[in-house]
């Protein structure tokens, strides 16, 4: 029995590979995003710790050099946190572009899959029609042979 062959199967496999590569790329970007968010959380914790330390240094006798060091450290960590926020914003844009590319790749793959499904249904319908035609011809041949046999039996009797 004939087997269904779709001439665009190599293209379908290529589109699936492209989609899989984009999924891996998006996964790597999401992993990097989580790392950046973790760094940002660490910076925010450092800022909160620095502010608490600065607040505690303001109680009792004031040491200006300690206050200056605390303020400088807090400003440096704040600068790092702002840079991390900018990195995160840029990274989120990369993620959005990667998602859009993945959606487009999935759409392109799905278009070929739908064409394959349509061709498979057409092939099955043609196969069923051919089988029905064959069975009809076989039944007609048997009926004709049977009626010839009956005529021969009647003439010979």
User: Do residues 123 and 4 touch, judged by C-beta distance below 8 A?
Assistant: yes
Q: Does the predicted TM-score (pTM) go above 0.75? A: no
Q: What is the pLDDT of residue 24?
A: 98
CA distance 85 to 42: 12
CA distance 119 to 128: 14
Residue where the block lists tokens 């440096």: 76
Half-sphere exposure of 99 (CA within 13 A, CB side): 7
CA distance 12 to 17: 9
Cβ neighbours, 10 Å, residue 21: 13
Q: pLDDT (tens digit, 9 = 90+) per residue, 71-106?
A: 888 889 889 999 999 999 999 999 999 999 999 999
Q: pLDDT (tens digit, 9 = 90+) per residue, 109-156?
A: 999 999 999 999 999 999 999 999 999 999 898 888 887 777 777 776
């Amino acid at each position: 029995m004939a087997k269904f062959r779709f001439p665009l199967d190599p293209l379908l496999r290529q589109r699936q590979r492209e989609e899989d590569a984009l999924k891996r790329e998006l996964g790597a970007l999401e992993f990097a995003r989580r790392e950046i968010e973790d760094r940002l959380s660490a910076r925010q914790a450092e800022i909160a710790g620095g502010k608490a330390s600065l607040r505690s240094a303001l109680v009792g006798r004031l040491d200006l050099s300690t206050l200056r060091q605390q303020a400088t450290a807090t400003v440096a960590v704040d600068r790092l946190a702002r840079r991390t926020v900018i990195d995160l914003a840029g990274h989120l844009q990369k993620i959005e572009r990667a998602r859009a590319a993945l959606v487009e790749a999935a759409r392109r793959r799905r278009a070929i899959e739908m064409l394959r499904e349509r061709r498979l249904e057409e092939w099955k319908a043609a196969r069923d029609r051919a089988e029905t035609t064959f069975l009809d011809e076989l039944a007609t041949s048997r009926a004709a042979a049977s009626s010839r046999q009956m005529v021969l039996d009647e003439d010979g009797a």
